[in-house]
Amino acid sequence: MIPIALTIAGSDPSGGAGLQADLKVFSALGAYGTSVVTALTAQSTRGVSAVHCPPPEFLESQLDELLADVRIDTVKIGMLGDARLVEAVADRLTRHRPRYVVLDPVMVAKSGDRLLAADSVAALRTRLLPLVDLVTPNLPEAAELLGEEEAGDEAAMHEQVRRLAELCPRVLLKGGHLAGADSVDLFLEEGSISRLSAPRVRTENTHGTGCALSSAIAALRPQRPEWHSAIADAKGYLAEALRHADTLRVGTGHGPPSHFHAWWPSRAEADRTDPVGSDVIPS
């Protein structure tokens, strides 16, 4: 049976992050995608200029209507914007418990623009983290959740991932912000830490990588026997999407990975067949 996945996330008009990216990843990895919108953003590959959050009652109506009709096997939660929306999602998760729930605690965009109000972090920590199966913070997000300084090395990551596990049963702490030839993530489950390392991919097109990884894990979890294999395969998918990212020419800032790299042309093929050439007119 094809799994049905739900993304609860903000909208990115450029298509590289948020629910647009999540739906692409779901499709690429064999899941049927559904979505509930938590925020509208005025956003491009260069940054976020405005955010509009709907009333929590409208978010609740979206979730109630969908969950009353559609079997949801797995959920990815992304941008929530403010404490009222965090509370609304937490309430619906309590009422309609999906089998798998992955939380990407989106707080700040890659451009540096804030996507979660600072005073809403406590609601995320106390209301939502205990309800989800896996949380996937990067190092700045982990520091905010813990109220600590950002980890500066792998030893500090080990300490923080254990403290995060006091808030959520499973943690994937992403170490992409550290320097080094390899990017190291730590996955903690039932007190045991697994180290997942991969060579860094040299590309500027990294917009929405956190969204892509968390939605890939959510899509794959119903198709894998346990969390570790779902995470490992999701990381492999994202690495290939980043390796093919430069075949896309989306915007003048940080473009997205190539979510459909398995079907779309390679870089060499794209260069040979590119109908528009390589000229980019900056705006």
pLDDT by residue (tens digit) across 40-67? 999 999 988 998 999 999 999 999 999 9
pLDDT of residue 273: 52
Query: How many structural domains does the chain have?
Result: 1
What angle is formed at CA 83 by the lines to CA 80 and CA 89, rounded to 5 degrees? 55
CATH number for the domain including 176?
3.40.1190.20
Reply yes or no on whether 34 is catalytic. Answer: no
Would residue 169 count as lying in a domain? Answer: yes
Angstrom distance (rounded) from CA 198 to CA 213: 14
Reply yes or no on whether 206 is catalytic. Answer: yes
Arithmetic mean of pLDDT over the chain:
90
Cβ-in-10-Å burial (0-12, 13-18, 19+) of 48 comes to buried
* Helices marked H in 43-130: 56-69, 83-95, 121-123
C-alpha dist (Å) from residue 275 to 14, 73, 202, 279: 21, 41, 25, 11
pLDDT by residue (tens digit) across 85-143? 999 999 999 998 899 999 999 876 555 555 666 678 889 999 999 999 999 999 999 99
Catalytic residue among 78, 175, 208, 255: 208
Would residue 278 count as lying in a domain? Answer: no
Helix (H) or strand (E) holding 253: none
pLDDT by residue (tens digit) across 192-239? 999 998 888 989 898 999 999 999 999 999 999 999 999 999 999 999
**Whether the Cβ atoms of residue 198 and residue 235 lie closer than 8 Å to each other:** yes
Q: Would you place residue 271 in the very low, low, confident or very high pLDDT band (cuts 50, 70, 90)?
A: low
Would residue 236 count as lying in a domain? Answer: yes
Catalytic residue among 10, 33, 210, 251: 210
Catalytic residue among 45, 211, 251, 255: 211
Would residue 283 count as lying in a domain? Answer: no
- DSSP 3-state of 256: coil
The boundaries of the domain holding residue 166 are 4-273
Q: Is 35's pLDDT higher than 90?
A: yes
pLDDT of residue 278: 38
CB within 8 A of 17, min separation 6: which ones? 43, 109, 207, 208, 210, 211, 256
Would residue 167 count as lying in a domain? Answer: yes
124-160: b (≥16 Cβ within 10 Å) or e: bbebbbebbbbbbbbbebbbbbbeeebbeeeebbeeb
Reply yes or no on whether 209 is catalytic. Answer: yes
Q: What single letter denotes the amino acid at residue 51?
A: V
Catalytic residue among 16, 33, 41, 174: 174
Reply yes or no on whether 251 is catalytic. Answer: no
C-alpha dist (Å) from residue 101 to 50, 67, 134, 267: 28, 14, 7, 35
pLDDT of residue 269: 61
Would residue 107 count as lying in a domain? Answer: yes
Catalytic residue among 45, 74, 206, 247: 206
Would residue 280 count as lying in a domain? Answer: no
Return the axis-axis angle of helices 139-146 and 154-164, rounded to nearest 10°: 50
Reply yes or no on whether 211 is catalytic. Answer: yes
Minimal CA–CA distance to 212: which of 177, 261, 168, 179?
Answer: 261
C-alpha dist (Å) from residue 164 to 53, 81, 192, 270: 28, 21, 13, 43
Would residue 77 count as lying in a domain? Answer: yes
